[in-house]
Amino acid sequence: MNPRSKGIVVALYGFAIFWGGVILVPFFWLAALSVKTRIDAFSVPPKLFFEPTFVAYSEILRDSKFLSAVLNSVIISVSAVTLSLLVAVPAAYALRNMVGPFRRNSTLVLLLLRMVPGMVYLLPYFVLYDRIGLLDTHIGLILVHLIFNVPLIIWMLLPIWAAIPDDLGEAARIDGATLLQTLFLIDLPLLKGGILASSILAFIFSWNEFLFALILGRREVITLPVAIVNFLAFEGTEWGKIAAASMFIVLPAIIFGFFVRRYMIAGMTGGAVKG
Amino acid sequence: MADISLTNITKTYANGVTALAELDLHVQDGEFLVLVGPSGCGKSTLLRMIAGLEEISGGELKIGGRLVNQLEPKERDIAMVFQSYALYPHMTVAENIGFPLRLAKMPAVEIERRVADVAQLLELTPYIDRRPANLSGGQRQRVAMGRAIVRKPSVYLLDEPLSNLDAKLRDQTRSQMVDLQARLGVTTVYVTHDQVEAMTMGHRVAVLKDGVLQQCSTPRELYRNPVNKFVAGFIGMPSMNFIKVTASGEMVNMGPHRLDVPPALQNEIVRLEGRTFTLGIRPEHLELSEAGVPLEVTGVEHLGAETILRLVLGDSEGATQIVVRVDGDKRIERGETVRIKLTEKLHFFAADGVRIGPAF
Ligand SMILES: Nc1ncnc2c1ncn2[C@@H]1O[C@H](COP(=O)(O)OP(=O)(O)OP(=O)(O)O)[C@@H](O)[C@H]1O
Ligand SMILES: [Mg+2]
């Protein structure tokens, strides 16, 4: 590496560290807040060194509202991802094997669908759910999550799927596989990484989802993000609890974030065709 | 075991391309038929139609006497080897070979036994637990073969199975495949654009051009009596020389040259008096002779056992390059003048390319 490109690399790293700091400072502040006592929490200047305490955590873990919010979030996210996969995988299979003009534009359409702000759907769904009695139900929220998760999963799977050579499917057909056998024995095993990665992303989106949960969930089905806002409104100054609860929201993103990257690299097709 | 009969087979793709036109072909039971032709002539299309991967636009396809136009590949009792091998990357060699049996719901013990037999036959036993990514090109090719033969189908379809191998491996594998086919006696259709493979492997060779079957004969017949100029030029290495000539008396004229025709063919030439036609001469059927016409050597390729000479026939009015194959012991340099004589092995083609004149 010549000195000039070395300089560029150093500068890039410097910038990355700086920017990472800008983004992460609030997060660390929140993490610190969750383990500070009420007195330490707002001392000026902020204390960098303090005796950590897990009082806030033990409080929220005994708070039934919080616990039921966690449970709701888990139920909704897991079901939403499962249901999304059940819709998105066959849809992606169909799109992958489709011929004609829509095939070419399908990824764009999916992306556009995914980019439409949730607000647009909110009112129609609110009115609809009110009529058919799905307001404030798990199933109502779960179904609404399909709006953003199904396009996401299809959009992520399509390019990986398109990279699996047609020959494999044809060879399987010749070997005597039905369409479903080809899907389950050839395509899906090769897509394992992509399916895992897109499920994780979809899970995180569902887990973080706030807008629909706030409006369509209301009283009975309160998810974690909504619960935290409720802490803000009703419990006044309990910053420690809010911070601790927020840490729970971030948890899946942190844990899964690492996996997603690993599985996105779809190295499974190696050796299928002459390499 | 089965024969394959194609009657009036036509293929038109959705985009309007006619890949095959009214093709008639009969592959006998146990025959090794090679399908050869230049790129884009419809070889793969034909093979894929026999396999059932491509819809048949018109005509009848029968395998073992049974009309199969509408049948799924798995109902046709065929196996296919793809040019890309199409091995399943997430399965081991054993799983790849055993896949058709697994789909056929064969008991696991039986699958294991048959896979082991095939692996033994193809010398794949040491690699049985490897994934395709960890195999060499030749090993992958054999796994693809294994997957085809394990099921004991009545027809093998192979689409350029050797084109991804290097020259030496290709030579070896070629003869192994011929042996294997002879041993198993399974009707085989083998697609290639390599005429060496066509000539050495097939019982018969079908030559395709632009979706039209030109000739289907034994390699020997194809070499000796090509039905037209295209087949004549396609078969043989280096290619046949084509010289436009005019019959005049017992000789033929080409620009400034008057070429003597051997006595045996003089009647033919007399019959063609005054007509212009194409003379086809294989490079190995021209002789160096003191009595021949003098021509300048413009290129020499020493191949060891033989030497390829490039000569120019004609003058500024119209020149044709001709290629002559001579004994490798002859020392001839570029720029020299050699004398060349026609032999009895001449082919005559009319202006439209159709063979006229005698058969050998
Ligand atoms: N799916 C398709 N849609 C439209 N046209 C096609 C399709 N597949 C092949 N063709 C056309 O049909 C003709 C025959 O193609 P085919 O693949 O059979 O040639 P080939 O003889 O196998 O050539 P190669 O030696 O290059 O493999 C070509 O002109 C090709 O462009
Ligand atoms: Mg082809």
Do B84 and B155 have their domain in common?
yes
Q: What percent of chain B has pLDDT over 70?
A: 100
Alpha-carbon distance of B96 to B196, in angstroms, equals 30
Do A134 and A1 have their domain in common?
no
What pLDDT is attached to residue A249? 87
Do A31 and A160 have their domain in common?
no
Q: Residue B328's domain is classified under what CATH number?
A: 2.40.50.140
What domain count does chain B have? 2
- The strands making up B355-356's β-sheet, listed across from edge to edge, are B257-260, B251-254, B241-248, B276-281, B347-349, B355-356
What does the pLDDT average to over B90-103?
96
Do B16 and B59 have their domain in common?
yes
Alpha-carbon distance of B192 to B182, in angstroms, equals 19
Phi-psi region of B309 (alpha: psi -120 to 50; beta: other; left: phi over 0): beta
Do B218 and B76 have their domain in common?
yes
Type of residue found at B175 = S
A268, B88: Cβ pair inside 8 Å?
Answer: no
Do A43 and A68 have their domain in common?
no
Partner A, chain B 162-181, Cβ-Cβ below 8 Å: 164
A270 contacts in chain B (CB < 8 Å): 89, 133
Do B259 and B314 have their domain in common?
yes
Do B86 and B204 have their domain in common?
yes
**Owning domain of residue A21:** 1-53
What does the pLDDT average to over A6-30?
89
What does the pLDDT average to over B301-327?
87
Q: Any idea what DSSP says for residue A214?
A: I
A166 CA distance to ligand 2 middle (Å): 14
Q: Whose CA is nearest to atom 10 of ligand 1?
A: B19
Do B215 and B249 have their domain in common?
no
Asked whether A149 and A91 are in contact (CB, 8 A), the reply is no
Do A29 and A120 have their domain in common?
no
B88, A186: Cβ pair inside 8 Å?
Answer: yes
Burial class (CB in 10 A: 0-12, 13-18, 19+), A190: buried
Last residue of a domain, one of B204, B234, B264: B234
Whether A189 is in a domain gets the answer yes
Do A83 and A215 have their domain in common?
yes
| Minimum CA–CA partner of A170 in chain B | B53
Do B94 and B224 have their domain in common?
yes
Whether A213 is in a domain gets the answer yes
Q: Which residues line ligand 1 (CB under 6 A)?
A: B 13, 15, 17, 19, 37, 39-45, 193
A18 CA distance to ligand 1 middle (Å): 56
A167, B86: Cβ pair inside 8 Å?
Answer: yes
B40 CA distance to ligand 2 middle (Å): 7
Does A268 score more than 70 pLDDT?
A: no
Does A271 score more than 60 pLDDT?
A: no
Q: pLDDT of B341-356, one tens digit each?
A: 888 889 999 988 899 8
Do A91 and A198 have their domain in common?
yes
Do A65 and A46 have their domain in common?
no
Do A58 and A182 have their domain in common?
yes
Asked whether B164 and B141 are in contact (CB, 8 A), the reply is yes
What pLDDT is attached to residue B211? 93
Q: Residue B166's domain is classified under what CATH number?
A: 3.40.50.300
Whether A274 is in a domain gets the answer no
Beta-carbon neighbour count of residue A158 at 10 Å?
Answer: 21
Do A239 and A254 have their domain in common?
yes
pLDDT band at A117 (very low <50, low <70, confident <90, very high): confident
Q: pLDDT of B115-162, one tens digit each?
A: 999 999 999 999 999 999 999 999 999 999 999 999 999 999 999 999
**Dihedral of alpha carbons A54, A55, A58, A61, sign:** negative
Do A94 and A220 have their domain in common?
yes
Do A46 and A113 have their domain in common?
no
B164 contacts in chain A (CB < 8 Å): 274
Last residue of a domain, one of B213, B234, B255: B234
Q: Is this prediction's ipTM beyond 0.90?
A: no
Do B266 and B177 have their domain in common?
no
DSSP per-residue string spanning B229-280:
HHHHHHSSSSPPEEEEEEEETTEEEETTEEEE--HHHHHHHHHTTT-EEEEE
Q: Is B288 on the interface with A (CB under 8 A)?
A: no
Pocket test for ligand 1, best of B36, B45, B158 (most atoms within 8 A of CB): B45
Give the ligand at the shortest distance from the Cα of B19: 1
B46 CA distance to ligand 2 middle (Å): 9
Pocket test for ligand 1, best of B12, B17, B46, B158 (most atoms within 8 A of CB): B17
Last residue of a domain, one of B181, B215, B234: B234
Do B88 and B190 have their domain in common?
yes
For testing the chain A interface, which of B72, B85, B88 should be mutated: the one with the most A CBs within 10 Å? B88
Q: Residue A194's domain is classified under what CATH number?
A: 1.10.3720.10
What domain count does chain A have? 2
Tell me the residues of A at the B interface, defined by beta carbons under 8 Å apart: 99, 165, 167-168, 170-177, 181, 185-186, 189-190, 268-275
Give the torsion through C-alpha atoms of B110, B115, B116, B117, to 10 deg. 90
**Owning domain of residue B248:** 241-356
Element (H, E) at A23: helix A3-34
**Which pTM value belongs to this model?**
0.83
Do A127 and A68 have their domain in common?
yes
What pLDDT is attached to residue A262? 67
Last residue of a domain, one of A37, A53, A69: A53
Whether A275 is in a domain gets the answer no
What pLDDT is attached to residue A266? 45
Does A275 score more than 50 pLDDT?
A: no
DSSP per-residue string spanning B68-107:
-TT--GGGTTEEEE-TT----TTS-HHHHHHHHHHHTT--
Asked whether B259 and B342 are in contact (CB, 8 A), the reply is yes
